[in-house]
Amino acid sequence: MTLNKKKISRRRTIKSAGASSVALTLAGCLGNGTDDVQEVTLLTAETDPRTQNVFDAVAEDFEEETGNEANYEYVGFEELADRISAGVRADDPPEMVIWNVGQMAALQEDGLLMPVGDLVDDVDVEIPDDTVFEWEDSVYSIPWCRKIYHMIIRGDLLEEAGYTPPDPASEEALNVDWSTFQEWVSAIDEETDAAGTAIAASQTSKGEVDAINWLWTNAVRIFRGTTPDEEVSIDTGEDRERAIEVLEYLDDIYEYSVPGADIAWAESTDAYASGSAGSVIYSIGRIFAALEGTNPEWMDHTIPLAVPWEQHRDDGITNRQTVSQFGVFEDSENPDAAKEWLTTLYNSHHYIDLIHSVPFHNTPLTEELAQSDEYLDHELLQEYPQIAEFYANFLEMGTSAMLAGDDGGVSRRLAQSELPSHLGKLLEDTLVGGDDPGDAIDTAAENLRDI
């Protein structure tokens, strides 16, 4: 198995060093746009080596087809902001960035993005309306996959604690209620070396995802109303009451959690892969990548579940999905070449390869694609058909609409609530800081209104 083996080959490193220094010299000597070879730079936090391999393959085809060159900069999710800002201010933005809808909204608000609606129509891939960032009838970013987060539990620990683990493909896995989950984690906590769970009560993007999934799954809406007049609703009426209940429940099971303020993405995989926690919110793909190097025998015991919810609150949504997007910078040197690069990606097998590069993490945009032979033809998806089925079920029951008003229109303002992680802070304040849930909700709402 070579799941997480890094393949940053020296050959590539040397090659790209040569290419970029040549390009720099050219750019320096000839000024803008006078030379034939156009260079496209993509900034991305998709650092998984398998994903990097796909991008490299796209670059080769891109060069063959158009004679242009593609350059990739792998930057941490948070460092992206620093890097883009520096580029924009020096009048040297990159051509493209992969980021989430919220950040696209911020970039678009400052007038940096180029409309890419024509691409959405042109590419061979079906792109659903609720996955793009659209503003005043123009589409400003083009999605390539959904990222789905859900509860993951160690079946062997559950057995050790005296419970029968559910089948991932079953209805049961999609409908774990609060009391069952609490029973499970408390039993794991008591009967095994692991803590019951690992709740990310931290002001990080991981904390934000945990918070939003707990809230959304339990029918708490953070915003309500029609775009662009949507209002923060988490501190009003039913939403507030439910939010308080969710926080109180989380406070109960926090007793069985490893300490949450330390937990960001890396720590949550660590907690699971080291056997420190029996359950965690993440995607199977990331968890498998971590288990590969440390405890591969646990892969077969890893079971995906919906985030626990109360049965009577069925409004059909079991998860909140992040949609990963490409944005093209209008004032970059070669925005048109960037669009060509995107066409090369979307209209070839590379598109599926890109989704396959982290299977069970990068999830197709549509159910249709998710059920297609083309997508299902992958080693890991074949090896774990019951997990594949869970993902197919789950895809159906999710929404990407946390950033949108009730009419489905994406709000620029709401979209930008993601990065500061005010809801991650809500969990941190309540679970770690010991604040009263009601007060913490008021603070969070106030922060959200300030955006």
Q: Which is nearer to another protein, 4 or 386 (CB)?
A: 4
Measuring CA to CA, which residue among 65, 63, 20, 70 is closest to residue 44? 70
Of these, 60, 73, 248, 300, which contacts another protein (CB under 8 A)?
A: 73
Q: Which stretch binds another protein (CB under 8 A): 107-115, 210-218, 307-315, 401-409?
A: 107-115
Contact between 84 and another protein (CB under 8 A)?
yes
Q: Which is nearer to another protein, 5 or 313 (CB)?
A: 5
Q: Which residues contact 353 (CB under 8 A, 6 or more apart)?
A: 54, 57
Shortest CB 343 distance to another protein, Å = 25
Residue with tokens 């209008």: 330
Shortest CB 298 distance to another protein, Å = 11
Indicate the DSSP class of residue 410.
B
- Angle separating helix axes 205-217 and 237-254, nearest 10 degrees: 120
Length of the chain: 451
Contact between 122 and another protein (CB under 8 A)?
no
Contact between 13 and another protein (CB under 8 A)?
yes
Q: Which is nearer to another protein, 1 or 86 (CB)?
A: 86
Of these, 89, 136, 237, 311, which contacts another protein (CB under 8 A)?
A: 89
3-state secondary structure of 34: coil
Q: Which residues contact 355 (CB under 8 A, 6 or more apart)?
A: 144, 145, 362, 363, 364, 375
Within residues 418-437, the interface with another protein by CB under 8 A covers 419-421, 428-429, 432-435
Q: Which is nearer to another protein, 8 or 397 (CB)?
A: 8
Of these, 264, 299, 376, 392, which contacts another protein (CB under 8 A)?
A: 264
Contact between 112 and another protein (CB under 8 A)?
yes
Contact between 323 and another protein (CB under 8 A)?
no
Shortest CB 78 distance to another protein, Å = 7
Within residues 244-263, the interface with another protein by CB under 8 A covers 258-262
Contact between 267 and another protein (CB under 8 A)?
yes
Q: Which residues contact 312 (CB under 8 A, 6 or more apart)?
A: none
Q: Which is nearer to another protein, 130 or 428 (CB)?
A: 428
Shortest CB 295 distance to another protein, Å = 7
3-state secondary structure of 29: helix
Contact between 328 and another protein (CB under 8 A)?
no
Shortest CB 406 distance to another protein, Å = 26
Contact between 234 and another protein (CB under 8 A)?
no
Contact between 303 and another protein (CB under 8 A)?
no
Shortest CB 302 distance to another protein, Å = 14
Rounded to an integer, what distance in angstroms lies between the CA atom of residue 398 and that of residue 407? Answer: 16
Q: In angstroms, how far apart are the furthest CA atoms of the chain? A: 72
DSSP string, 199-249: ---SSSHHHHHHHHHHHHHTT--SEESSTTS-EE-TTSHHHHHHHHHHHHH
Rounded to an integer, what distance in angstroms lies between the CA atom of residue 284 and that of residue 185? Answer: 19
Rounded to an integer, what distance in angstroms lies between the CA atom of residue 265 and that of residue 20? Answer: 32
Q: Which residues contact 236 (CB under 8 A, 6 or more apart)?
A: none
Contact between 416 and another protein (CB under 8 A)?
yes
Q: Which amino acid is at 279?
A: S
State the SS3 of 142-177.
Answer: EEEEEECCEEEEEHHHHHHCCCCCCCCCCHHHHCCC
Within residues 188-217, the interface with another protein by CB under 8 A covers 193-194, 201-204
3-state secondary structure of 132: coil
Contact between 186 and another protein (CB under 8 A)?
no
Q: Which is nearer to another protein, 245 or 435 (CB)?
A: 435
Rounded to an integer, what distance in angstroms lies between the CA atom of residue 85 and that of residue 209? Answer: 25
Q: Which is nearer to another protein, 35 or 82 (CB)?
A: 82
Within residues 16-55, the interface with another protein by CB under 8 A covers 16-17, 20-21, 24, 27-28, 41, 45, 47-49
Q: Which is nearer to another protein, 295 or 366 (CB)?
A: 295
Contact between 275 and another protein (CB under 8 A)?
yes
